Structure 1
Amino acid sequence: MTVQKAFEVEVKIDAAPDRVWAAVTDPAAIERWHGWDYDGLAAEIQYIYVDHATLAPPDRLIIADETGGQEIVLVPDGSGTRIRVTRPGEAAVDQYDMIEEGWRSFFQQLRHYLERHPDEERRTIFLEGDASPAAVVADLRAKVAGRDWHADRYQAGIATDDFGGGLVILASGIPVAADETGPMMITLTTHGLDDEVFAATKRGWLAWWSGLAQNPRLTSAP
Structure 2
Amino acid sequence: MTEQDRPVIRVTVAAPVDEVWRALREKDKIRHWHGWDDPGLDAEIDLIYFQSFVEDEGARTLGVQEGDHIVLEPDGDGTRVTLTRAPRGVSPEWDAYYDDITEGWTTFLQQLRFFLERQPGAPRRTVFLAGTTAGAPPLLPELGLDGVAVQPAGSAFEARLAGQDVKGEVWFRSAHQFGVTVDAWGDGLLVVAYTEPTAEKPAGTAMALLSTYGLDEAAYAELAGRWGAWWGGRYPAPAGPIPGTEAPEA
Which of structure 1's runs of 4+ aligned residues deviate more than 6 A? none
Aligned to 1:61: 62
Instruction: Write out per-residue CA displacement over residues 126-167 of structure 1, whole angstroms, 9 at most, x where no aligned residue.
Output: 001113787311233241532221111111111121211111
Could you say what the CA RMSD is over the residues aligned between the two structures, in angstroms?
2.6
> Is there any run of 5+ residues in structure 1 with no aligned partner, and where?
none
Deviation, 1:181, is 6.5
Aligned to 1:204: 226
Matched residue type, 1:131: T
Aligned to 1:119: 121
Give matches, 1:93-132, under 5 Å: 97-131=99-133
| Equivalent of residue 140 in structure 2, options 137, 140, 143 | 137
- Higher RCO (Cα < 8 Å, 6 or more apart): 1
TM-score, structure 2 normalization: 0.75
Deviation, 1:64, is 4.6
Looking at structure 1, the residues matched to 196 and 52 of structure 2 have their Cα atoms a distance apart, in angstroms, of: 30
Q: Which has the higher strand share?
A: 1
- Partner of 2:184: helix, strand, or coil? coil
Looking at structure 1, the residues matched to 195 and 47 of structure 2 have their Cα atoms a distance apart, in angstroms, of: 24
Percent of aligned positions that are identical: 40
TM-score, structure 1 normalization: 0.84
> Is there any run of 5+ residues in structure 2 with no aligned partner, and where?
90-97, 146-158, 246-250
Matched residue type, 1:37: D
Deviation, 1:24, is 0.6
- Partner of 2:39: helix, strand, or coil? coil
Aligned to 2:22: 22
Matched, 1:185 2:207: yes
- Partner of 2:37: helix, strand, or coil? coil
Aligned to 2:150: none
Deviation, 1:88, is 4.5
- Is contact 2:11–2:109 with CA below 8 Å preserved after alignment? yes
